[in-house]
Amino acid sequence: MSRRMAEMEIRLALSLPRDASSVPLTRQVLDSALEALGVTGETRGDVRLVLTEACANVVQHAGAGDQYEVTVAVREGCCAMEVMDQGRGFDESALEREIPEGEVPEHGRGLSIIKALSENVKLSSYRKNGSKVHFEVPLKWKEDAPGRRLATGSRSG
């Protein structure tokens, strides 16, 4: 009789004040967890960048609301992240507008960075109740990463 191994899932949930000092804290907490699992430095760098962009966007633009939430799930070879605020939402039609070639806006590059470095990007706006951005970064493991062993269910020793 074969027995199926339980799959690994690591979840982090942070509820933070909408303050610029919360962004590096959030980035460091997630980076430390991914480093302990054995995620490559390059992949951790991508995760740090997209998470920073999403959190900084909330801190700068969310409007009303004193807090925001970050949830992270590491499972099935990917790091899925959601950043939710309690602000005024956003104009979803603005997300569809194309930036003319050669023009680089001073603001608004964060979403482009998130889309370039992650997958399954989903944005939701809830008028007067905030917004949520969901994105996923596929994980690349170091050779003898504990996270790889745990994710595949292989045992050592």
Integer Cα distance of 28 and 30 in angstroms: 5
The label of the residue with tokens 């609301």 reads 65
Integer Cα distance of 50 and 45 in angstroms: 9
Q: Is the pLDDT of residue 101 over 80?
A: no
pTM: 0.80
On average, the pLDDT of the chain sits at 82
Domains and CATH numbers, the chain: 10-92+108-151 (3.30.565.10)
Going by pLDDT thresholds of 50, 70 and 90, the confidence category of residue 63 is: low
Residue 123 has what pLDDT? Answer: 87
E strands, the chain, in order = 9-17, 67-75, 78-85, 119-126, 130-138
Residue 99 has what pLDDT? Answer: 45
Backbone dihedral angles phi then psi of residue 83, each to the nearest 5 degrees = -125, 120
Q: Is 124 helix (H, G, I), strand (E, B) or coil?
A: strand
Integer Cα distance of 145 and 39 in angstroms: 7
Amino acid at 60: Q
- Give the residue among 84, 97, 96 at the shortest CA–CA distance from 125: 84
Residue 104 has what pLDDT? Answer: 44
Say if CB 147 and CB 38 are below 8 A apart: yes
pLDDT average, residue stretch 79-97: 71
DSSP letter for 146, please: H
Say if CB 137 and CB 50 are below 8 A apart: yes
Contacts of 88 (CB under 8 A, 6+ apart): 62, 63, 64, 127, 128, 130
